[in-house]
Amino acid sequence: MEQKSNTQKPSSLEELTKPYQRLKYACNCSMCQGKEVDGQTQTSYANEELRWSSNKERKNQLARIEARKYDRKGKKLTDYTC
């Protein structure tokens, strides 16, 4: 009997045990004042109207979050997590 060769690269133990690291983004709400926070935190803060001194700043933050979902050519990224 012939065995099929495994085409996948075997993962090293280091790759398997390495913790997942999330990207940090600047949050410009009145509480954070530019601190870097997790993307999910930034999104939830942008949706809370009481955290913002003006509606214009809040909309700018939401626009930055939405822009992260697209590449430079305007194509939507499929592996976007946040």
Question: Could you tell me if 23 and 37 are in contact, meaning their C-beta atoms sit under 8 angstroms apart?
Answer: no
Question: Could you tell me if 24 and 36 are in contact, meaning their C-beta atoms sit under 8 angstroms apart?
Answer: yes
Model confidence at 13: pLDDT above 90: no
Per-residue pLDDT averaged across 17-46, rounded? 90
AA letter at 2: E
pLDDT value at residue 4: 54
Model confidence at 58: pLDDT above 90: yes
User: Distance of CA 11 to CAs 6, 14, 50, 63, Å?
Assistant: 12, 8, 46, 38
pTM score > 0.85 for this model? no
pLDDT value at residue 60: 93
Domain ranges, ordered by start, for the chain: 22-67
